[in-house]
Amino acid sequence: MPKQQPKEEKIKITPTKGRPMLNWVGKKPLDYVKGYPAVLMEVFDPLKIGLKYDIPRFEDLEKNWQNLLFYGDNKDVLATLLEQGFRGKIDLIYIDPPFNVGIDYIRKVQLRGLKTSKIEGEGYSTIEQVMYFNNFLEDTYLQFMYERFQLLKELLNERGSIFVRMDYRFGHSIKLLLDEVFGKENFRNEIVVNRTQEFFKSSRGLKKLMVDTDSLFFYTKSNNYVFNEVRIKREKEVWWEITLPGDHRGDDTRIIFGKKFKLPKGRIWGLKQEQIEDYEKLGRLKVEKNKVFYAPITKTLKSNWTDIAGYARTTDYPTENAEVLLKRVVEMSSNPNDLVLDCFIGSGTTARVAQKLGRRWIGCDINKGAIQITSRELQKIIKEQIKKKETKYPSFAIYKVNNYDLQLLRTEAIELAVQHIGIQRTKTDSFFDGTLGKNLVKIIDFNHPFTLLDLQLIQDELKKRPNEDRDITVVCLGKELAIDLAIEEWNKKHPVNKIEVIELKTDKKYGNFLIHKPDEAKVNIERKGDKAIIEILDFISPTIIERLNIDNTLFKVKIPDYRSMIDYILIDTNYDGKTFHIVYSDVPEKKDDLIKGKYELEIPKDKVKIAVKIVDMLGEETLVSKEI
């Protein structure tokens, strides 16, 4: 008897009522969303508390919290959170979404303990990894952000705040979307933050100023929101008189430098006696002509935050937000134990700061490299907190939502196609991906075949370019049956802009580009009494070797130590074949450090399955397991 399919649950989304409203082609507010299964993949629980939730329901987590990291499209993840009871449970949201600037952001990968030269030029260097594409059609981008803002509003509680980082290109449009979704009356500030990052460079000859700042839009759910005044150190010494005009006198004396000072009529003291004593000790108090002055050490934080870094370089992630920036946001708009969400987690700055400040957190990203970097850095922080007995939330779980393995490979697969076919990438074109000979190239998303809708989008784009006389090459994995006939009809009517298709699954010349050689590892696992002895004997990543040697006709790069290719090691000493429990992790502290490679861990006397997960410098995972 076939298994009965569960009833599909639709989650209703509250209509947006804010004004003004921005319009674009294809604008459609969300009425309903559908949650997706969240599959538990990994658990980091160094204190062995035993927290494990196959399904991340809020009612379970509320009693015994475990931080959450989701791998998948954030629209699907946010819908799943709504389905699992998180509506109105988030206290603070921070996001730094793609700015849609026409740049594909790249992670520069440096092997551990090995200096490798990079080939620079118009294309990407050989050991760089595209982390995410940042080039949407304008209408598509606005719809993308609109849908996510609607879902985020549903998750935010009435005392909650949302911060959205944008640059000058789309900041004005994004602010209008936020006005519509969250209400113009709930706009609090536009905060100015530093860029401080190399890839934002001004082009010479454009006759304009170099852009040095981004905007951070601060909105709330209602007027009753959490706001903690943040004070920052004064850069310049400013002396203020310690007494102020007033209508009452109250306690009219203070002891200053051992001498009693009495207030003149109509004045009140601006500082209490204990504050005066503190300023005395700091040397920031003085008396001149019988008047008392002090130099405040701090001042109230305002909306200009250019005194701190906006980006950082502590990980390999290209758009890593600075922790000092997130610290201000988290301290200002949340309290200890509050729940912080970042659905574009990137390098994990939001989660790292939340962890350090005693907040609960939820993060998600569609890029597996981002999930790996976030997990790696959080493991370091939690281990250090445990040593100092400073953490209240010492564990986190990683879930996969809607099985995004293919989506993970989208950026990498397209890059492989570009290299394999010989496409010259065009970083300034918002629609076409590059050129092949004299032809313009459009690469179809590898997660679906070339459809009539894709063809229509190409034809519509060509109509906007009446002076474009180049032909078009479409690269895809597969195509709908009706495509060939539709292209034949188009080509008959157009002496220029003819369309040809490279179908990678069947094309004889390019059909083997998706051949992927997985990493190979030789791992020895054996029992010695109540201990497991684990040794990584050898490891090779064919992809890394190929990346190092591509375009290098003079010599082949040699890697003297296999450990240079390994980013970190995770070990589960009682693997159940389903969820990987991180019992031990070897995450080298510095970029030049190597993994240990040999481990001795305590295990039960009964038979257990040891699993070793090896993550290479490009984020590829290899799992080796053995029963002992």
Task: Note the pLDDT tens digit of each residue in 438-462.
Answer: 999 998 877 678 888 889 999 999 9
Residue 186 and residue 219 in contact, taking contact as beta carbons nearer than 8 Å = yes
- The first and second tokens of residue 174, run together, are 């994004």
Average pLDDT over residues 286-306: 85
- The first and second tokens of residue 372, run together, are 């790996």
Instruction: Walk across the sheet containing 339-342 and list its strands.
Output: 187-194, 213-220, 156-166, 90-95, 339-342, 360-365, 67-71, 396-401, 38-44, 580-582
Residue 99 and residue 169 in contact, taking contact as beta carbons nearer than 8 Å = yes
**Amino acid in position 432:** F
Residue 196 and residue 137 in contact, taking contact as beta carbons nearer than 8 Å = no
Q: What does the pLDDT read at residue 136?
A: 53
Q: Alpha-carbon torsion 90, 96, 97, 99, what sign?
A: positive
Q: What is the pLDDT of residues 469-501, one digit of tens each?
A: 999 999 988 888 889 999 999 999 999 999 999
Cα–Cα distance for residue pair 38/217, rounded to 1 Å = 31
Q: Which domains does the chain have, with CATH numbers?
A: 42-100+136-230+304-405 (3.40.50.150), 232-299 (no CATH), 409-503 (no CATH), 520-627 (2.60.40.10)
With bands split at pLDDT 50, 70 and 90, how would you rate the model's confidence at 353? very high
For residue 190, how many other CB atoms are within 10 A of its CB? Answer: 13
Beta-bridge partners for 336: none
Q: What is the pLDDT of residues 579-628, one digit of tens each?
A: 999 999 998 888 788 999 999 999 988 999 999 999 988 788 899 999 99
Q: Rounded to the nearest 5 degrees, what angle is found at the Cα of 474, between the Cα atoms of 472 and 479?
A: 140
Q: Is the model's pLDDT at 466 over the cut of 60?
A: yes
Q: Is the model's pLDDT at 415 over the cut of 80?
A: no
- The first and second tokens of residue 261, run together, are 């000072």
Q: Is the model's pLDDT at 221 over the cut of 50?
A: yes
Tell me how many helices (H) and strands (E) the chain has: 13, 35
Residue 458 and residue 464 in contact, taking contact as beta carbons nearer than 8 Å = no
435 — alpha (psi -120 to 50), left (phi > 0) or beta? beta
Integer-rounded Cα radius of gyration of the chain: 29
- The first and second tokens of residue 351, run together, are 């989660």
Q: Rounded to an integer, what is the distance from CA 150 to the centroid of its chain?
A: 19
Average pLDDT over residues 3-20: 69
Q: Is the model's pLDDT at 380 over the cut of 60?
A: yes
**Span of 123-137, 174-188, 462-476, 492-506 with lowest mean pLDDT:** 123-137
Average pLDDT over residues 403-423: 62
By residue count, the chain amounts to 628
Choice between 3 and 53, residue whose per-residue pLDDT is larger = 53
Q: What does the pLDDT read at residue 456?
A: 92
Q: Is the model's pLDDT at 199 over the cut of 60?
A: no
Which residue reads 């551990």 in tokens?
A: 112
All residues at 6 or more sequence positions from 438 whose CB lies less than 8 Å from its CB, including other chains: 470, 471
Q: Is the model's pLDDT at 404 over the cut of 70?
A: no
With bands split at pLDDT 50, 70 and 90, how would you rate the model's confidence at 9? low
All residues at 6 or more sequence positions from 372 whose CB lies less than 8 Å from its CB, including other chains: 567, 615, 619
Average pLDDT over residues 553-577: 82
Cα–Cα distance for residue pair 498/371, rounded to 1 Å = 42
All residues at 6 or more sequence positions from 419 whose CB lies less than 8 Å from its CB, including other chains: 550
Mean pLDDT of the chain: 84
DSSP per position, 233-298: E-SS---EESEEE-S--SS-EEEETTEEEEPPTTEEESS-HHHHHHHHHTT-EEEETTEEEE--SE
**Span of 5-9, 21-25, 282-286, 431-435 with lowest mean pLDDT:** 5-9
Q: What does the pLDDT read at residue 317?
A: 72
H-type alpha helices, 515-593: 542-549
Q: Is the model's pLDDT at 515 over the cut of 60?
A: no
With bands split at pLDDT 50, 70 and 90, how would you rate the model's confidence at 118? very low
Q: What is the pLDDT of residues 317-330, one digit of tens each?
A: 778 899 999 999 99
**Span of 234-243, 269-278, 555-564 with lowest mean pLDDT:** 555-564
Beta-bridge partners for 503: 476
Q: Which range, 179-183, 279-283, 564-568, is most confident?
A: 179-183
Cα–Cα distance for residue pair 262/255, rounded to 1 Å = 9
Q: Which range, 106-120, 185-199, 429-443, 547-561, is most confident?
A: 429-443
Average pLDDT over residues 19-46: 87
Q: Give the pTM.
A: 0.71
Residue 217 and residue 178 in contact, taking contact as beta carbons nearer than 8 Å = yes
Start-to-end CA distance of the chain, whole Å, equals 39
Instruction: Walk across the sheet containing 621-627 and list its strands.
Output: 584-586, 566-572, 609-616, 621-627
Residue 182 and residue 219 in contact, taking contact as beta carbons nearer than 8 Å = yes
**Span of 80-94, 128-142, 242-256 with lowest mean pLDDT:** 128-142
Average pLDDT over residues 423-440: 86
